[in-house]
């Protein structure tokens, strides 16, 4: 038989063990519940992450398709090249601009941009120097050779970019064919030169102004009569360069440009108009002014044409004096005859 004290101690230990077991079971239940909640939360986060990834992937795919469409359908030539001159990628417009059927055709054919495309390989070197110094370049103009050997003018806008799979920066850019613009510019330059030669060959003075009455051009005859050269006069008000007064009243004559702009028609100066040069010398002049119109009829400025009639007036005055003297002589002769 067990001693009563030992039995009590044993029961007490059993009770303590039961309490610990109960506590442990409670802790296990709590941990199990927490684990379950964590699992539910994790699954919820995973679902949200998958939905987010799916949405982002779809968005990226749509953006890629959109930009791919822009790349493929752009009318400007878009390209990416290596610093060594190899075309890595380009759009159809770039290939067509240089006479190739497809991007793959020009990529496979051209190994060295400087010598295969540039008429002057030094232009490619100049472009690379600008890129390395500034990182980008705008409006770089050079001549390129098409597949058929013809030459075009091209304007490029490009920059250096760094990619993860390339040790050296690549060149990314856009080019457009500006041959027609260059031809128009050359034609315009030729016309301007022809106009300048014509103006300098005209025996009359010619002054052109804008719609604000400021000088935009004058020829050599005008320089000699006014004392102003073309460079000095450009941008000045006409009244400062072309000072005219009435010979009899000595009062300023109305600015002919203002009249033309107001009336929109060709006008002539009144008789007895005097031009006062920069040095103060006076010339009797006759002139006319007419509007300069564009193809739509809008007035772009005024052209003033005048000539020095000082000697002509002096000669006319001398002739009048001679005629008067002859008349007096005839009259005197008649009187003498009567007596």
pLDDT digits (tens, 9 = 90+) for 131-182: 999 999 999 999 999 999 999 999 999 999 988 777 788 999 999 999 999 9
Helical (H) or strand (E) element with 135: none
SS3 of 211, please?
coil
Q: Per-residue pLDDT tens for 28-54?
A: 777 777 777 778 777 787 777 777 777
Q: Which residues pair with 306 in a beta bridge?
A: 205, 287
Tokens of 126: 């100049």
Note the pLDDT tens digit of each residue in 275-288.
999 999 999 988 88
Domains of the chain: 72-178 (3.30.450.20), 202-317 (3.30.450.20)
Q: How confident is the model at residue 312 (pLDDT cuts 50, 70, 90)?
A: low
pTM: 0.57
Per-residue pLDDT band at 224 (split at 50, 70, 90): very high
**Predicted confidence band at 315 (pLDDT cuts at 50, 70, 90)?**
low
Contacts 24+ apart (CB under 8 A), 97-103: 97/152, 97/154, 97/175, 97/176, 97/177, 98/144, 98/146, 98/147, 98/152, 99/146, 99/147, 99/148, 99/150, 100/147
- Predicted pLDDT of residue 64: 63
86-129 per-position pLDDT tens digit: 999 999 999 999 999 999 999 999 999 999 999 999 999 999 99
What token pair was written down for 266? 């060709």
């Amino acid at each position: 038989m067990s001693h009563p004290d030992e039995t009590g101690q044993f029961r007490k230990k059993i009770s303590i063990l039961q309490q610990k077991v109960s506590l442990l079971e409670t802790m296990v239940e709590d941990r199990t519940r927490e684990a379950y909640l964590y699992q539910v939360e994790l699954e919820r986060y995973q679902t949200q992450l998958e939905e987010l990834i799916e949405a982002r992937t779809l968005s990226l795919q749509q953006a890629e398709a959109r930009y791919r469409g822009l790349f493929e359908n752009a009318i400007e030539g878009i390209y990416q090249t290596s610093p060594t001159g190899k075309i890595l990628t380009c759009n159809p417009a770039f290939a067509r601009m240089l006479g190739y059927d497809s991007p793959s055709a020009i990529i496979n054919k051209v190994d060295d941009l400087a010598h295969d495309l540039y008429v002057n390989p030094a232009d490619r070197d100049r472009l690379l120097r600008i890129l390395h110094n500034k990182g980008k370049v705008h409006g770089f103009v050079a001549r390129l050779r098409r597949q058929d050997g013809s030459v075009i003018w091209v304007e490029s806008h490009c920059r250096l970019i760094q990619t993860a799979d390339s040790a050296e920066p690549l060149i990314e850019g856009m080019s457009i064919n500006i041959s027609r613009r260059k031809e128009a510019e050359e034609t315009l330059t030729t016309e301007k030169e022809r106009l300048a030669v014509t103006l300098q060959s005209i025996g009359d003075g010619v002054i052109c102004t804008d719609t604000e009455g400021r000088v935009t051009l004058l020829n050599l005859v005008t320089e000699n009569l006014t004392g102003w050269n073309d460079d000095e006069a450009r941008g000045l008000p006409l009244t400062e360069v072309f000072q005219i007064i009435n010979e009899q009243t000595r009062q300023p004559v109305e600015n002919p440009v203002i009249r033309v702009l107001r009336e929109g028609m060709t006008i002539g100066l009144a008789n007895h108009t005097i031009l006062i040069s920069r040095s103060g010398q006076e010339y009797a002049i006759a002139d006319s002014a007419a509007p300069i119109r564009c193809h739509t009829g809008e007035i772009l400025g005024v052209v003033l044409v005048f000539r020095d009639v000082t000697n002509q007036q002096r000669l006319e005055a001398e002739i009048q004096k001679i005629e008067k003297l002859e008349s007096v002589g005839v009259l005197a002769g008649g009187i003498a005859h009567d007596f």
